[in-house]
Amino acid sequence: MNKTSYIFVTGGVTSSLGKGIISASLAKLLQARGYQVSIQKLDPYINVDPGTLNPYEHGECYVTVDGAETDLDLGHYERFTNQPTTQANNVTTGRIYSEVINKERRGDYLGETVQIIPHITDEIKKRIMLLGNQGDYDFVITEIGGTVGDIESLPYVEAVRQIKWEIGNQAIVVHLTLVPYLAAAGELKTKPTQHSVKQLLQLGVQPDILVCRTEHHLNRNLRNKIALFCNVETTSVIESIDTNTIYNVPILMKEEGLDSEVLRKLNIKDNRKTILTNWDTFLKRLKNPTHEINVALVGKYVELKDSYKSILESFVHAGAENLCKVNVKMISSETIDDENSEFILKTMDGILVAPGFGNRGIEGKITAIKYARENKIPFLGICLGMQCAVIEYSRNVLGHLDAHSTEMNARTSYPIIDLMDEQKDINNMGGTMRLGAYSCHITSKNSKTYQAYQKLDIEERHRHRYEFNNKYRKEFADSGMSVVGINPKRDLVEIVEIDNHPWFVGVQFHPEYSSTVAKPHPLFVGFVKAAKEKN
């Protein structure tokens, strides 16, 4: 195939129907036929990126290899396809408007009146076509955030209309809708789907395929009815029934023939089989565990599970690898103190202290780490979790009672976590973040970290501002907390371990960002294995 085909995924009726999972599942199916596929997300909010959003607003902020702070759906894309994403895979309204305004200020539009059409829509189209124009992909799947009918999404739908007009059968629209079940009537209702498609038609876009989320199977009569009222073929009405794990969705979509229908609509003749052998093996391991463990995830955004989406999915991957069901108990760090820590944590086989920003909940994280260290419970600290681990060790082992981070307490006399020297004179704190992939050298083959990775040089993604203060490195090593991973270019501490502990690892980076179905992250695999052995 010489040209890139474009598949747009829109959503109607309600949000949170699973456009990201459908997009990722379709990409997986096309991959399984031997195609090169990339997925991008168009987000209608006016923030330039989600980096400044509270996790309660938008779930976790996912970081790509090249350091872009993006929507959490990009995590699903990577977990399903095992392909890294970049800044080009996430576009926001804020970024679009910022670019158009900058062009207007530079005079790029030669005095034209700058308008939604054509200037904003042209910029959207440019971003959509960017991945395809590189020539590396057979398909680019573009997920449109929000719900059809939202005022924020209108420019994106208009851009899709224009692209479909311009490139014809090289582009199709897959529309995800809801077919609700009314218990009182005892039947499924198609009217919400009809109204959703009508809204799309009013905007000039005819969907080619409908994917219908439902609690009950769609019979032939219902499919015919939806097809008739929505101007699609019956074979283009795809059922997406509720399932107990998102990792079932590619299999369900394969059974429904979604990938075959997409290829047919794009006039691509292909008799190759969709080979999902490795995916089937993963699902078999996931559904047939031989062990079960309880792990505490200690954080301060635990009321919304999406705040720690990548961590939770990493436990799924690592659990399957270990034939182990991982029951994750979300614990608010604000509820933990010295008096109740044993009551809260005594039934846990492992403790993970999550990343985060700001002072709230810090002392609870430190208390949880103290409990893990003293009671020999397998521990994994990520980013701020690692920083809290060295603060706890400073206070309770080294005896520096006021040890802290300068971010949390500028007056501490023992700033174990501090800004890097070159950052201290920078006024714009947003510019001091360490974002994206950085190299790390593992210094000891005897470390738990090396046992997990089985190699000395690794690369992991970061999202943080403060660093371990190298002034105290020797003091820690002499007392039993070793630095076993460093950034070789800038001599920054990346990984710490406690020597006389079954499994105590703190990492400055975010291993959860690079865990996929095909390649569960080694640290999560090692952590789950240690918790399983304790159990």
Q: In terms of residues, how long is the chain?
A: 535
Rg (CA), the chain: 25
Query: In angstroms, rounded to a whole number, what is the distance separating the alpha carbons of residues 496 and 387?
Result: 10
Which amino acid, one-letter code, is at 155? P
Catalytic residue of the set 61, 212, 230, 383: 383
Instruction: Report the 10 Å Cβ neighbour count for 248.
Output: 16
Answer positive or negative: Cα dihedral of 259, 62, 133, 130: positive
β-pair type (5-11, 139-144): parallel
β-pair type (291-299, 324-332): parallel
Q: Return the exposure string of 505-515: e unless at least 16 CB atoms fall within 10 Å of the residue's CB, then b.
A: bbbbbbbbbbb
Query: In angstroms, rounded to a whole number, what is the distance separating the alpha carbons of residues 282 and 247?
Result: 9
What is the separation, in whole angstroms, between the first and last Cα of the chain?
53
Whether the CB-CB separation of 138 and 173 falls below 8 Å is answered with no
Q: Can you say whether residue 142 is alpha, beta or left, with left for phi > 0 and alpha for psi between -120 and 50 degrees?
A: beta
Q: Can you say whether residue 515 is alpha, beta or left, with left for phi > 0 and alpha for psi between -120 and 50 degrees?
A: beta
Whether the CB-CB separation of 103 and 109 falls below 8 Å is answered with yes
383 is catalytic: yes
510 is catalytic: yes
512 is catalytic: yes
Q: Return the exposure string of 350-359: e unless at least 16 CB atoms fall within 10 Å of the residue's CB, then b.
A: bbbbbbbeee
Catalytic residue of the set 119, 464, 510, 521: 510
Query: In angstroms, rounded to a whole number, what is the distance separating the alpha carbons of residues 86 and 66?
Result: 6
Whether the CB-CB separation of 40 and 128 falls below 8 Å is answered with yes
Largest CA distance in the chain: 75
Query: In angstroms, rounded to a whole number, what is the distance separating the alpha carbons of residues 118 and 163?
Result: 13
Residues serving a catalytic function are: 383, 510, 512
